[in-house]
Amino acid sequence: MTINEIIQQNEELQLRYARALNTIAALERKIAKLQKENKVLLEENKKLKKYNNILMRAIEIALTIRDREKQDLHLKKVLEKLKETGEFTKG
């Protein structure tokens, strides 16, 4: 191998190394973005689980009420309370 070939190969390797570093940096940015999104989604999931538990408990209670109108009233009150507290919105 001549000196010129070695220099050329070295330059090519430096270019590949620079591209690899750029790719790593881009991937690190994507990972950071995805981690942020994941954190937001975990919080949203936590809220949804809480609302689901509240609604499931309300349904369980409603099922123990024999009078249909009282069942409806109970469930309406639960939904109103959730809407009042901002913990439940149609969407």
User: What does pTM read for this prediction?
Assistant: 0.64
The domain spans of the chain are 3-84
Q: What is the DSSP string of 43-87?
A: HHHHHHHHHHHHHHHHHHHHHH---HHHHHHHHHHHHHHHHHTTS
Q: Mean pLDDT for the chain? A: 91
Q: What are the pLDDT digits (tens) for 47-87?
A: 889 888 988 999 999 999 999 999 999 999 988 888 887 66
